C-alpha cells in the first residue's frame, strides 16, 4: 500500500508540518497568528497573476508570485496600522479579504482565458498533496529544510527579540532586520505549504501546533520542539488518512488531526482544563482543612 | 431585468453589511466576523445533513448556531488563558476544515460545492426565485431583505445599549445592560448576514463588505450615526463599482466588489491625509501671520 510516491509525499508533508510548527511558534509569541492567516490568503492573487504573466504552471514562478503578494499583504497591514487610526484586527481583516478578492478576480480571468488546462490553479485553494509530483516535492523538501535551518540559526536572536525587544535594541541587534527575516520565513512557510494544504488552511498549520505546544510548556526551546513534533505528526497522519480514500482533500484532514491534538492538549496538558479543575478542588479542600 | 436584480442584490449586500460592520469595527471584533464567515460553512453543511434540503430557512438556523458556537468557543479558549488571536485561529480553521470534509463526504453530489459557498456567484442569483405574498423576487433578495430588517430591528431596539456596551462595558454591566445577550445577539446577526450574502458574494468575501465600508467610514466620521450613514454609502458604492468593473473585464463580480472595497478605503485614507496636511499647513500659516 505504501507506494514509493506516497512515502515521499508523507515525508514532505511531515517536513512541512515541522517547518510550520517552528515558524508558527515565533509568530504566535509575537501575537501575530492572524497576520499569517492574512498572508496565506494573500498568496492567491500572486499565484494567479504569475500564471497570467508567464502563461505557464511553472511552480517556482507561481511560488515567487505568491511570496510577493503575501509579503506585500503583511507590509500593507503594518502600513495601515501605523498610517491610520484603524486597529490591527480590522486592518488584518480588510487586507485579507481584499487580497483574496483580487485573487478571485485574477483566478476568474485565468479560467476564462484560453491558456490550456488551468484547473490545477484551483487546487491552490484547498491543496492536493496526494497528487504532488517529484518536482513539487523537491521544492517542498528544499524550502522546508531552509526554513528549519534558518530558524535554528536565528533562534537566540529571535528569542531576545520576542521577550525583550528593548534590551535587544540596546545591545545593538538589528531588530527591524531580524523581524523582516522572521516575516520572510513565515511567508516562505506559507508558500511552501499551499500546494499541499491550500491557502485557506495553511494558517491552521502555523497556529494550531504552536497553541497546543504552549499548553504543555513555558520554555521556548521545548515549545519549539513540541510544536514541530505536533506539526510533523499532523502532516504525516493527515496525509496518510487522506491517501486511504480517493477524492479526500489533504488539507482539511491535516488540520483536523492538528485540531484533535489541540483538543487533547486542552484537556490533559499541565495548563489544561482537567488539571485546572483538580487544582481548584485541592485548593478548596485545603481551605476547608485550614 | 436580470442585470437589475444582480445590481439590486449587490446593493442590498453592501447596505446590510455596511450596517452590521459599524459595531464590528468599534467593538474590535473584525477577526471574529472573519472566523464566522468561515464557520458558517460548517453550519450550512450540518443543516443540510440533518434536513437533507437546501432550504434557506434551515441554512439560516444552521449558520446562526455555527456563529454562536464560534463566538462561544473563542470566548471559552480566551478565558482559559489562550491569546485571543490564536483562539480565533484555532477555532475557525478547525470548524472550517470539518465543514470542507463533511461536504466532500456527504454533500458532494448536491449543489453545495465549497467554492460556491466561499466565493459566491451573484450572476446566478436572478434565476433562483421565491414567490411570497404573490411577489416574485430572487431568493437572495428575499433573504437579504429579511436580514436587513433583522439588523435594523436589532439596532432600533438596542442602539443605546450597544453603544454603551461598546464604549464602556464595565459601566454598562454595572447598570444592568445584558452585555452577554448583546454579544451573542450581535454575533447571530453577523452569521445571518454572512449566510444571506453567501449566495451572491460568498462567505469569505462578505467579510470585505462587513469590515471595509465601516472601516472606511470610521476614518472620516465624527459620530456613530454619521458612521452608519457613510458605511452604508461605501458598501452600496463598492457593490455598484464592483459590478461594473467586473462586467467590463468579464471577471468575478464578488471578487471585484472586494477589490472595490479596498480601492475605496485606500482613496479615502489618502484623501483624508491630504486634507489633513493642507489643514495643518493652513493653520501653520495663519499662526505665522
What confidence tens digit (pLDDT) does each residue in B48-94 have?
A: 888 887 777 788 888 888 888 998 899 889 888 888 889 999 999 99
- Does B265 touch chain A if contact means CB atoms closer than 8 Å? yes
pLDDT at residue A8, as a whole number: 84
Contact residues on chain B for A90, CB-CB shorter than 8 A: 25, 28, 30, 211, 215
A169/chain B closest Cα distance in angstroms: 26
**Global pTM value:** 0.87
**pLDDT exceeds cutoff 90 at B111:** no
Q: Averaged over A87-93, what is the pLDDT?
A: 89
| Average pLDDT for chain B | 84
pLDDT for the residue B127: 64
Q: Is the pLDDT of residue B9 over 90?
A: no
Give the pLDDT mean for A56-83: 87
Q: How far apart are CA B74 and CA A207, in angstroms?
A: 14
Which residues, 6+ apart, have CB-to-CB distance to A208 below 8 Å? A230, A234, A255, A258, A259, A261, A262, B89, B90, B93, B94
Chain B residues within an 8 Å CB radius of A37 = 89
- Chain B: give the shortest CA distance to residue A57, in Å: 21
> Residues B161-192: pLDDT tens digits?
888 888 888 888 888 888 888 888 888 888 88
Q: Looking at the partner chain, which of A33, A101, A204 has a beta carbon nearest the beta carbon of B85? A: A33
Interface predicted TM-score (ipTM): 0.87
Q: Is B56 on the interface with A (CB under 8 A)?
A: no
Mark yes or no for CB contact B83/A207 under 8 Å: no
* Rounded average pLDDT over B31-38: 88
Sign of CA dihedral A149, A153, A156, A161: negative
Residue B39 has pLDDT above 80, yes or no: yes
Please tell me the predicted confidence (pLDDT) of residue B3.
Answer: 80
Residue B237 pLDDT more than 90?
A: yes
Q: What is the mean pLDDT of residues A249-263?
A: 91
Which residues of chain B neighbour A255 with C-beta distances below 8 Å?
93-94, 96-97
Q: Decide if B85 and A251 are in contact by the 8 Å CB cutoff.
A: no
Mean pLDDT of A99-114: 84
Q: Which of A5-9, A20-24, B22-26 has the lowest mean pLDDT?
A: A5-9
From the list B192, B206, B211, the residue with the least C-alpha distance to A91 is: B211
Which pLDDT band, with edges at 50, 70 and 90, does B264 fall under? Answer: very high
Give the closest residue to B26 by CA, choosing from A221, A263, A68, A86.
A86
Q: Which residues of A touch B13 (CB under 8 A)?
A: none
DSSP state of B177: -
Reported as a pLDDT band with limits 50, 70 and 90, residue A115 is low
Neighbours of B285 (CB within 10 A): 9
Residue of A45, A73, A85, A97 to mutate when probing chain B, most B C-beta within 10 A: A97
- The strand pairing partners of B132, in sequence order, are B135
Dump strand ranges (E) for chain A. none
pLDDT of residue B134: 67
Q: Give the pLDDT confidence score for residue A17 in this predicted structure.
A: 93
The Cα-based distances of A160 to A75, A156, A252, B203 in angstroms read 23, 6, 35, 40
User: What is the residue whose three cell numbers read 526554513?
Assistant: A147
Identify the three-state secondary structure at position B107. coil
- Partner-chain contact A256 B94, CB within 8 Å: yes
Rounded to a whole number of angstroms, the distance from the CA of A176 to the nearest CA of chain B is 23
Give the pLDDT of residue A272. Answer: 80
User: Mean pLDDT throughout B116-145?
Assistant: 71
Per CB-CB distance under 8 Å, the chain A contacts of B265 are 94, 98
**DSSP 3-state assignment of A89?**
helix
Is pLDDT at B216 greater than 90 in this prediction?
yes
Band of the pLDDT at A270, cuts 50, 70, 90?
A: confident
Q: Would you say residue B196 has pLDDT above 90?
A: no
Q: Check CB contact under 8 Å for A92 and B31.
A: yes
pLDDT band per the 50, 70, 90 thresholds, residue A290 = low
Q: Is the pLDDT of residue A124 over 80?
A: no
Nearest by CB to residue A208, choosing from B29, B80, B90, is B90
What confidence score (pLDDT) does residue A1 get?
47
Looking at per-residue pLDDT, the higher value among B108 and B40 belongs to: B40
B97–A259 C-beta distance less than 8 A:
yes
Q: Is the pLDDT of residue B121 over 80?
A: no
Residues of chain A with Cβ-Cβ distance to B114 below 8 Å are 126
Query: Is the confidence at residue A73, as pLDDT, over 80?
Result: yes
Q: Residue B31 and residue B40: Cα distance in Å, rounded?
A: 14
| Residue A96 to residue B101, Cβ atoms within 8 A | no
Chain B partners within 8 Å of A253 (Cβ): 97, 101
DSSP 8-class letter at A129? G
Q: Does residue A213 have a pLDDT over 90?
A: yes
Amino acid at each position: 500500500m505504501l507506494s514509493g510516491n506516497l512515502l515521499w509525499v508523507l515525508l514532505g508533508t511531515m517536513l512541512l508540518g515541522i517547518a510550520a510548527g517552528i515558524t508558527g511558534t515565533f509568530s504566535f509569541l509575537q501575537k501575530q497568528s492572524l497576520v499569517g492567516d492574512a498572508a496565506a490568503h494573500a498568496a492567491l492573487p500572486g499565484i494567479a497573476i504569475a500564471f497570467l504573466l508567464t502563461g505557464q504552471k511553472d511552480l517556482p514562478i507561481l511560488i515567487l508570485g505568491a511570496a510577493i503578494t503575501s509579503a506585500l499583504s503583511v507590509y500593507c497591514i503594518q502600513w495601515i496600522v501605523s498610517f491610520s487610526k484603524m486597529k490591527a484586527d480590522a486592518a488584518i481583516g480588510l487586507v485579507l479579504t481584499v487580497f483574496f478578492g483580487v485573487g478571485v478576480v485574477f483566478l476568474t480571468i485565468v479560467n476564462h482565458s484560453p491558456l490550456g488546462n488551468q484547473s490545477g490553479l484551483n487546487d491552490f485553494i484547498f491543496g492536493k498533496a496526494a497528487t504532488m509530483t517529484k518536482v513539487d516535492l523537491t521544492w517542498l523538501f528544499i524550502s522546508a529544510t531552509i526554513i528549519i535551518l534558518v530558524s535554528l540559526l536565528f533562534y537566540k536572536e529571535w528569542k531576545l527579540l520576542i521577550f525583550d525587544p528593548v534590551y535587544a535594541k540596546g545591545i545593538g541587534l538589528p531588530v527591524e532586520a531580524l523581524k523582516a527575516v522572521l516575516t520572510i520565513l513565515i511567508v516562505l512557510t506559507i508558500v511552501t505549504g499551499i500546494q499541499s494544504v491550500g491557502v485557506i488552511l495553511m494558517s491552521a498549520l502555523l497556529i494550531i501546533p504552536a497553541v497546543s505546544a504552549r499548553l504543555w510548556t513555558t520554555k521556548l526551546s521545548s515549545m519549539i520542539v513540541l510544536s514541530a513534533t505536533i506539526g510533523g505528526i499532523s502532516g504525516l497522519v493527515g496525509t496518510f488518512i487522506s491517501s486511504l480514500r480517493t477524492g479526500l482533500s489533504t488539507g482539511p484532514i491535516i488540520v483536523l488531526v492538528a485540531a484533535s491534538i489541540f483538543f487533547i492538549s486542552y484537556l490533559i496538558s499541565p495548563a489544561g482544563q482537567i488539571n485546572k479543575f483538580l487544582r481548584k478542588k485541592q485548593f478548596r479542600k485545603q481551605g476547608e482543612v485550614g | 431585468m436580470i442585470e437589475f436584480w444582480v445590481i439590486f442584490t449587490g446593493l442590498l449586500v453592501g447596505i446590510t453589511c455596511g450596517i452590521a460592520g459599524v459595531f464590528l469595527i468599534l467593538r474590535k471584533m473584525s477577526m471574529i466576523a472573519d472566523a464566522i464567515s468561515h464557520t458558517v460553512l460548517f453550519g450550512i453543511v450540518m443543516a443540510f445533513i440533518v434536513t437533507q434540503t437546501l432550504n434557506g430557512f434551515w441554512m439560516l438556523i444552521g449558520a446562526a448556531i455555527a456563529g454562536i458556537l464560534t463566538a462561544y468557543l473563542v470566548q471559552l479558549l480566551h478565558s482559559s488563558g489562550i491569546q485571543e488571536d490564536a483562539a480565533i485561529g484555532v477555532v475557525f480553521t478547525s470548524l472550517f476544515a470539518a465543514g470542507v470534509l463533511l461536504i466532500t463526504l456527504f454533500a458532494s453530489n448536491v449543489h453545495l460545492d465549497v467554492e460556491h459557498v466561499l466565493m459566491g456567484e451573484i450572476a446566478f442569483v436572478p434565476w433562483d426565485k421565491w414567490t411570497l405574498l404573490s411577489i416574485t423576487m430572487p431568493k437572495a433578495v428575499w433573504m437579504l431583505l429579511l436580514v436587513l430588517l433583522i439588523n435594523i430591528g436589532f439596532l432600533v431596539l438596542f442602539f443605546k445599549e450597544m453603544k454603551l456596551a461598546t464604549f464602556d462595558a464595565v459601566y454598562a454591566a454595572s447598570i444592568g445592560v445584558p452585555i452577554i445577550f448583546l454579544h451573542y445577539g450581535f454575533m447571530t446577526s453577523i452569521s445571518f448576514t454572512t449566510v444571506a450574502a453567501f449566495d451572491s458574494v460568498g462567505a469569505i468575501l462578505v467579510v470585505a463588505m462587513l469590515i471595509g465600508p465601516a472601516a472606511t467610514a470610521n476614518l472620516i466620521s465624527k459620530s456613530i450615526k454619521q458612521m452608519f450613514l457613510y458605511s452604508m454609502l461605501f458598501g452600496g458604492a463598492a457593490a455598484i463599482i464592483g459590478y461594473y468593473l467586473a462586467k467590463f473585464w468579464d471577471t468575478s463580480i464578488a471578487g471585484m466588489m472586494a477589490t472595490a472595497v479596498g480601492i475605496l478605503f485606500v482613496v479615502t485614507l489618502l484623501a483624508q491625509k491630504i486634507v489633513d496636511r493642507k489643514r495643518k499647513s493652513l493653520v501653520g500659516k495663519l499662526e505665522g501671520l
